[in-house]
Amino acid sequence: MSAQRIDTHIHALPPVYVRALEAAGGDPSGYPTPDWTLEAALHSMDALETSVGILSLSTPGVPIAGTGEAGRKLARDMNHYFGNSTTKCKYNNRFGFFGVLPDWQDVNGTLDELDYLYQEQKLCNGVTVYTTYGDKLLGDKHFTPIWDRLQQYKALVFLHPGVLAVEPQFVASVLPQPIVDYPIATTRAAVDLVMTQTVRRCPDVDIILSHAGGTLPFLAERAIGSLAVPEIATRLGFDMVKARDDFSRFYYDTALSASPAQLHGLLDFADPSHILFGSDFPYAPQFAINAQMARYAAFVATDQRGSDLSPEKLRENALTLLNKHALKKKIQ
């Protein structure tokens, strides 16, 4: 049991969400919406020897319902579903969840849902946040009250990439945005959070970046180096030392990120204690997850740095982070 995995990047598509997604015209990222049930998630977890999965709602999420009452209701319905499902005895403590929030452009609705999650329901392991809302990155001043509330609750944030408003929308006119654009969206959001000093203003908020941080391990030094330009550093009121320190605070999951190039890049950039396991089920089909796991296992078994990412280490990392932010019951 000690080596069994804890999956911090495993998605859920409850019926209420699927109906709302269909009513909104489908997933704007161009990616097909997979079939999903809790039982299918359990089957995948068992195949991977995963003991606990922290369910989350992938992009596009609640923002498909807009910034009004419909969005607030969908978020609450989703949190009721997650709360009820993850506490059922039949699942034997196999699931946790990242709470669902309205579109952040509805600041008051988002604050209300955070209060519900942390003061009333008290079941979530953290909250899911997307990389952009409308035309705003997460460090936008419009969202300062939300970050203040997250800091108040010492929340854990699972940061998932969102749809990018770019033209042309799809590479090669066909490839859905998750293939190329989502890693870029994560990178832009992470750099924005550091350069706007949002990370620095929220010392008790921990942030998990999806898919090994996208391209962040490759591009962060470029962002940090920009602060050597006096005009940029002056406008931001920031310096390279602080930026480097704030980048080091991020956590990373390994969802769809098991190649030697990705894992070496991550180890070159991040502390090994900040790396977590993620499967990306069901958006990654089981055969793709199995292929990723085979590559990961080969890396652990044959690479001289493989022991830094052993199943035992990734499980320990997840336990430490999740239990740091536990509201009630801790994960064993």
Q: Where are the domains of the chain?
A: 5-324
> Residues 6 or more apart from 194 whose CB is under 8 A from it?
223, 243, 246, 247
Pairwise CA distance, residues 11 & 326, whole Å: 20
Pairwise CA distance, residues 81 & 17, whole Å: 10
pLDDT tens digits, 100-128: 999 999 999 999 999 999 999 999 999 99
Which residue is associated with the tokens 């970046």? 209
Instruction: Please name every residue paired with 132 in a beta bridge, in sequence order, or none if there are none.
Output: 137
Report the DSSP pairing between strands 5-11 and 126-130: unpaired
Percent of the chain, pLDDT > 90? 95
Q: Per-residue confidence at 225, pLDDT binned at 50, 70, 90?
A: very high
What pLDDT sits at residue 208?
Answer: 99
Nearest to 6 by CA among 94, 90, 129: 94
Phi, psi of 66 (to 5 degrees): 90, -175
Higher pLDDT, 329 or 81: 81
- Check pLDDT > 50 for residue 2: no
Percent of the chain, pLDDT > 70? 99
What pLDDT sits at residue 288?
Answer: 96
Rounded mean pLDDT of 88-111?
Answer: 94
CATH number, span 5-324 = 3.20.20.140
Rounded mean pLDDT of 19-41?
Answer: 96
The one-letter amino acid code at 11 reads H
Pairwise CA distance, residues 120 & 272, whole Å: 35
- Check pLDDT > 90 for residue 328: no
DSSP string, 218-280: HHHHHHHHGGGSHHHHHHHT--HHHHHHHHTT-EEE-TT--SHHHHHHHHHHS-GGGEEB---
CB 11 within 8 A of CB 56: yes
Name the DSSP class of 215.
T
- Check pLDDT > 70 for residue 49: yes
Rounded mean pLDDT of 55-74?
Answer: 97
pLDDT tens digits, 231-275: 999 999 999 999 999 999 999 999 999 999 999 999 999 999 999
Q: Per-residue confidence at 141, pLDDT binned at 50, 70, 90?
A: very high
Rounded mean pLDDT of 78-86?
Answer: 96
Q: Per-residue confidence at 1, pLDDT binned at 50, 70, 90?
A: very low
What pLDDT sits at residue 3?
Answer: 59
DSSP string, 180-212: HHHHHHHHHHHHHHHHTTHHHH-TT-EEEESGG
pLDDT tens digits, 268-296: 999 999 999 999 999 999 999 999 999 99
Judged on CB neighbours under 10 Å (0-12, 13-18, 19+), 136 is middle
Average pLDDT of the chain, as a whole number: 96
Rounded mean pLDDT of 297-303?
Answer: 97
pLDDT tens digits, 185-223: 999 999 999 999 999 999 999 999 999 999 999 999 999
Instruction: Please name every residue paired with 208 in a beta bridge, in sequence order, or none if there are none.
Output: 158, 251
What pLDDT sits at residue 108?
Answer: 98
- Check pLDDT > 50 for residue 89: yes
